[in-house]
Amino acid sequence: MKKLIITIAMALIISNINAQNSVITVYADSEVSIGGSNADDLTTIDIPVAPGDITGKKTVCSGEADVEYSISPVTDAASYKWTVPPQARITNGQGTTSIRVSFKSTSGEVCVSASNKKGKSAESCIEIKVNLKPTASAGVDVSICNGLSTNLEASGGKSYSWTPSTGLSNTNIFNPVASPTSTTVYKVTVSNNNNCGTATDEIKVTVVDFTPFKKCGDNLIYEGRAYKTVKIGEQCWMAENLNVGTMIRGNLIQADNGKIEKYCYNNNEVICETDGGLYQWNEVMRFGAREISDICPCGWHVPTDDEWKTLETEIGISQMHINISGYRGTDHGTKLQKGGTTGFNAIPAGYRKMGGYFYDRGTHMTFWSSTEHNLANAWKRLMGTEYKTIDRSYAIKKYGYSVRCLKN
């Protein structure tokens, strides 16, 4: 078989053709293939035109899968190329007139073009809006003292509905005030009001009863343990070091895990029975937990730096020295130590240093205040058996010190 290709500039001129059973095929780019004798058999193939309208959903939800988009077949098209918004994925049908798409959270266009060996068409596109599904968060569990309240705070959507209604100021806002009289689990249902469903989450509000206590000087019962108390001026103090929580070894960090953890000197739990536990400042303050803000019982609290100053003023430290840092007073530290005249009965429990090492049991006693100095440090009080004064200074929050509670 003989084949002749003729490129035509302005017109098609064919002559002196001696062929049998030939077929003439004329392409749009003016190439002519002549290979047979039947001149009436003439076929023209063009670059495809742009596809028609795309059929499919214009609004979808984030995470929605297997959404179908399709077009009618395009004349002369051999295949089709689809594109989808960022993060979306074509799961089936690429190269055909119908695809299925899985979306994430990004809106954009679904587009398609047709092609053959002569070229590719212009695109046809449809704009897709991706509505976000709600993601519910009711916040972290919280404990409150009986008779008090807490602000709940949900997030993740545009409308909120809380159940049960017991103790809530409003069930249809994101931040109702909760005042339950017993431990309650609240459920919040969140919606974005866009037909993309709802999401739910729960928060447990634990109600802690106030520790029964009549007057200063009586024993305070907390977590099954009796603590002596003493009145100094107008303040009522624990007269023993706090010993609450589960012992962990000194080389570990007290964690934000919803449980109170303590160190015992030299990792000996028996020593906690006499000297009390040693606590890092963040553990003392329950890692910034709302409402019940420290490890003291309901109705009591870890004293502030100013409340320590009130105690020190009561036992005679002058106003000239009360606000300075360092060692202050004369025999005022002795008054607070075991056997001193105040009944405060501070004992030299030592302390835990970073790295898990323990120091100075029998000679030094250090107590946290609830007052921060900066992000890394908090104010404390230090006394020692070998000197009579009281040191006011700040220390690294990761150290482990003793705790005394003060009545509200």
Sequence letter at residue 339: G
β-strands 184-191, 150-151 pairing: unpaired
Maximum C-alpha span of the chain: 133
Give the start-to-end residue ranges of the domains of the chain.
Answer: 4-43, 59-131, 142-208, 246-407
The answer to whether the pTM exceeds 0.75 is no
Q: In angstroms, rounded to a whole number, what is the distance separating the alpha carbons of residues 322 and 272?
A: 32
Render each residue's pLDDT in the chain as its tens digit; 408 residues.
333 333 333 333 333 333 343 344 444 443 444 444 444 445 678 999 999 999 999 999 999 999 999 999 999 999 999 999 999 999 999 999 999 999 999 999 999 999 999 999 999 999 999 999 999 999 988 888 888 899 999 999 999 999 999 999 999 999 999 999 999 999 999 999 999 999 999 999 999 888 889 899 999 999 999 999 999 999 999 999 999 999 999 999 999 888 899 999 999 999 999 999 999 999 999 888 766 779 999 999 999 999 999 999 999 999 999 999 999 999 999 999 999 999 999 999 999 999 999 999 999 999 999 999 999 999 999 999 999 999 999 999 999 999 999 999
Side-chain-side CA neighbours of 61 within 13 Å: the count stands at 14
CATH class of 59-131: mainly beta
CATH of range 142-208; options 1.10.10, 3.10.620, 2.60.40, 1.10.3470: 2.60.40
Tokens describing residue 257: 């895990």
52 phi-psi bin (left φ>0, alpha ψ -120 to 50, beta other)? beta
- Cβ distance 302 to 296 under 8 Å? yes
